[in-house]
Structure 1
Amino acid sequence: MIETWRWFGPSDSITLRKIKQAGATGIVTSLHEVATGAVWEKRDIQARKEMIEAEGLTWEVIESIPVHNDIKTRSGDYLQLIENYKLSIKNAAQCGVYTICYNFMPVVDWTRTNLMYQLPNQSHALRFEMTDFAAYDIFILKRDGARDSYSPAVVAKAELAISDMSDEAKLELEKNIIAGLPGGEGSYTRDTIREAIEEFIVLGTEGFRENLFAFLREIIPVAQTHGAKMCIHPDDPPFSLFGLPRVVSTADDARKLLNAAPSPANGLTMCAGSYGARGDNDLVEMVKEFAERVYFVHLRNVTREDDGSFYESDHLDGDNDMVGLVHALLSEEQRRKAQGQSLSLCAIPMRPDHGHLLEDELNQPNVKPGYGYMGRLKGLAELRGVMHAVSNFMRR
């Protein structure tokens, strides 16, 4: 697999040189300065690509070209926005960047309730706490029908939690949930998020799924024509939030999506942490089933709890079988090679995801939640060891 690193562009405090010193050879990035829905111009893509290559690295994956909410709801100027998206795919491919990760999550992108969850070793992880999320939804946002989205046990715990929560803690919780996390598509106020939620809820799960499929029918032929590979990121977390529809959360969702646009350009991002936050997703079996359409991998681990809560554990410790997952991915690379595919098509880009915040970075400014340097460097080193060990075992 190709070892890559998520980079947030020239303003990122983690420089390309630091990334190279971490051992990564590829970069995963986006033109974050381009407004969602606007065309990615060739000159901007090429300039960013040249900046990356000047440090001896390659731009392996675009993560992401964001999908405008009007496309997801098929409202407003969505037809023009789809045309803009097609042109962005074409321009990226013509600049030599072919793998494009994107997501189709409604309203909120990846979501956590606690960005500083302290682990036993005193490092800090990202956490999604179901009780706190329900407390926000029911008692702070006061969404209509919110109580019906949770079990009576969760509602009771949420009521107790909110009664013990200070005003400062309530504001921090709201900030974590709706202010936007790194790589997301922006932020909301309490009023605007209520409006956005209602707009998506009326679609229902199958209506929202059909909007995704309609989008795929437009963009996948363009991607195939230009040699691009679209790889959708799963919902994070992979279950409904705010009563919203979720359509990329399970193996069955992935199956339906791939069948909706049966093209080699229509693929998946295997995010182990996102899919793995559900106990009924068998990641190793998913890789085996969808192997030829897995074009990008996030290797991250989680520890799940019975009520749907989870926190991000060490990369090699948690509920996901990371060794089995790496073995399945390397086996797919071997299969591609045996079929005579070029090396560039055989190798699957991977990146360590959401590292822990370690002591030396604890009080440093501009450290993005989940995206510190040392925690991801630690994760990459651990994953590299697994990949080497599994590769050696497979050669015997």
Structure 2
Amino acid sequence: MLESWRWYGPLDRIGLEEIAQTGAHGIVTALHEVPYGEVWTREAIAARKGLIASSRLDLAWNVVESLPVHERIKRGEGDLSSLFANYRQSLANLAAEGITTICYNFMPLLDWTRTELESPVAGGGTCLRFEAVHICALDLFMLEREGAEDDHPPELRARARAWFEASDKAARDRLTHAIMAGLPGAYDRYDIPALRAALTLYEGIDADALRANYARFLKEVVPVAQELGMRLCVHPDDPPRDILGLPRIVSDEDDIAWILDCLPVPENGLTLCSGSLGANPQNDVPAIAARFAERIHFAHLRNVAKDPDGSFEEAAHLAGDTDMVALVAVLLAEERRRRDQGRRDAQIPFRPDHGHALLSDLGRDTHPGYPLIGRMRGLAELRGVIKALSHENVGWG
């Protein structure tokens, strides 16, 4: 497996020299400064690629995360021909620079969503947390979304009201800030009125409508990926549940099967995110990985610990509710299968996803969920699992 590291480019407070010291060689990045829907020019791609390579640190841009899908495409709104053309041109420009693995998502409006960015963990440090009571309070009492009561059980609604009535403006502002933190790079953030207005644009779009728009997207771009020798790999919803009235359609095994069957070709693939899928109590992540192994082109390895009310938080990479050793074993077995077929692309790139903020991470103000020390700890733990599972002589003596 190819050790990789997410880097936000010039926006990132973690430098390439520091990344090199983690032992990772692949860089997962994007042109976050380019507005959604515009073409990634070959010149801009080459400049970012050159910036990474010129470091002389044995680093290379190996995965794009993400080439974003415009919200109008997700909504199926108006004449989309220019947006599809721009997406295809960006793919062509990336392929011309030798970057052929493209992670993207089809989450409406919001990317990964958390309600707390600095939740304390045992022994010190902090983690990202999704608190069901807080998202319920936001939905019912801050956004005052019509129909929100039907999406939350009575006991949770009562707890949310109690939190809201006891909260002050600072607490509510922190919650709004945390929700917005999942939007990548230099992207517009919303206050409550703006978020309320943005949500209205999705009124009338249910899961079936969103699937139809997604199928159209795939049919518009996957054939070009086939021509270019690229791999598109969708990222699961995070969290894997409807949120704020927005439908989510990449949340479980059945969703993934529908997507991969929509265009059953290798170029229509999956980013296996163990944390996103692991937040759904119904998901057996190693089993999902085994079922779709041949279509996994990229992996995010992290872990979560879930609560009965739907809350969850980022756990240490080898802790939490997902059997990470079993999951890595599935990915290594798939790599062996690919090597046996003589494939040159047998190696699966992976990155240690969201880590705890530890030691000198605290107060450094890196992108939420993307500290240096916490992710390096995760990478070291995963490296040990991979090494142990790959060792031919499992016995001693």
Same fold (TM over 0.5): yes
| 8 Å Cα contact 1:2/1:347 also seen in 2 | yes
The aligned residue for residue 307 of structure 1 is 309
Q: CA deviation at 1:186?
A: 3.4
For 1:135 and 1:114, locate their aligned partners in 2 and report how far apart those are by CA, in whole Å: 14
| 8 Å Cα contact 1:269/1:296 also seen in 2 | yes
The aligned residue for residue 69 of structure 2 is 67
Q: CA deviation at 1:79?
A: 1.9
The aligned residue for residue 99 of structure 1 is 101
| 8 Å Cα contact 1:110/1:184 also seen in 2 | no
The aligned residue for residue 235 of structure 2 is 233
The aligned residue for residue 7 of structure 1 is 7
1:337-392 CA distance string (max 9 Å, x none): 111111xx10000000111111322123x322111111111111111011101111
| 8 Å Cα contact 2:119/2:128 also seen in 1 | yes
Aligned partner of 1:354: which letter? H
1:151-185 CA distance string (max 9 Å, x none): 11110111111122122101111121136544585
1:310-352 CA distance string (max 9 Å, x none): 000100000011000000000000000111111xx10000000
Query: Which of 315, 325, 328 matches 2:327?
Result: 325
Identity of aligned residues (%): 47
For 1:70 and 1:252, locate their aligned partners in 2 and report how far apart those are by CA, in whole Å: 25
The answer to whether residue 203 in structure 2 is matched with residue 204 in structure 1 is no
What 5-or-longer segments of structure 2 have no aligned partner? none
Query: Which of 111, 118, 122 matches 1:120?
Result: 122
Aligned partner of 1:381: which letter? A
The aligned residue for residue 108 of structure 1 is 110
The aligned residue for residue 368 of structure 1 is 367
1:261-286 CA distance string (max 9 Å, x none): 11110000000000000111111111
Between 1:201-210 and 1:293-302, the stretch displaced more is 201-210
Pairing of 1:216-365 with structure 2 (within 5 A): 216-342=218-344, 345-364=345-364
For 1:34 and 1:77, locate their aligned partners in 2 and report how far apart those are by CA, in whole Å: 21
Q: CA deviation at 1:122?
A: 1.6
| 8 Å Cα contact 2:32/2:184 also seen in 1 | no
The aligned residue for residue 136 of structure 1 is 138
Distance 1:393 1:316, change over 3 A: farther
For 1:381 and 1:78, locate their aligned partners in 2 and report how far apart those are by CA, in whole Å: 44
Aligned partner of 1:151: which letter? P
For 1:142 and 1:313, locate their aligned partners in 2 and report how far apart those are by CA, in whole Å: 32
Pairing of 1:157-176 with structure 2 (within 5 A): 157-176=159-178
Aligned partner of 1:383: which letter? L
For 2:357 and 2:391, locate their aligned partners in 1 and report how far apart those are by CA, in whole Å: 32
Aligned partner of 2:81: which letter? L
Between 1:44-53 and 1:177-186, the stretch displaced more is 177-186
The answer to whether residue 87 in structure 2 is matched with residue 88 in structure 1 is no
For 1:337 and 1:359, locate their aligned partners in 2 and report how far apart those are by CA, in whole Å: 40
Aligned partner of 1:367: which letter? T
The aligned residue for residue 45 of structure 2 is 45
Distance 1:189 1:201, change over 3 A: same
The aligned residue for residue 81 of structure 2 is 79
What 5-or-longer segments of structure 1 have no aligned partner? none
Aligned partner of 1:79: which letter? S
Spell out structure 1 runs of 4+ moving beyond 3 A.
178-186, 393-396
Distance 1:181 1:358, change over 3 A: farther
The answer to whether residue 25 in structure 2 is matched with residue 25 in structure 1 is yes
For 2:360 and 2:261, locate their aligned partners in 1 and report how far apart those are by CA, in whole Å: 47
Between 1:122-131 and 1:172-181, the stretch displaced more is 172-181
The answer to whether residue 387 in structure 2 is matched with residue 388 in structure 1 is yes
Q: Secondary structure at the match of 2:10?
A: coil
Between 1:49-58 and 1:80-89, the stretch displaced more is 49-58
1:197-236 CA distance string (max 9 Å, x none): 2322411111101100110000000001001100000100
| 8 Å Cα contact 1:182/1:369 also seen in 2 | no
Aligned partner of 1:251: which letter? E
For 1:295 and 1:246, locate their aligned partners in 2 and report how far apart those are by CA, in whole Å: 22
Distance 1:191 1:245, change over 3 A: same
For 2:197 and 2:392, locate their aligned partners in 1 and report how far apart those are by CA, in whole Å: 54
For 1:200 and 1:210, locate their aligned partners in 2 and report how far apart those are by CA, in whole Å: 14
| 8 Å Cα contact 1:103/1:232 also seen in 2 | yes
Distance 1:190 1:394, change over 3 A: farther
1:40-85 CA distance string (max 9 Å, x none): 1011111111211223211110000111101111114422111100
| 8 Å Cα contact 1:134/1:155 also seen in 2 | yes
Q: CA RMSD in A?
A: 1.4
Distance 1:280 1:393, change over 3 A: farther
The answer to whether residue 57 in structure 2 is matched with residue 58 in structure 1 is no
Aligned partner of 1:377: which letter? M
- So what's the TM-score if we normalise by structure 2? 0.96
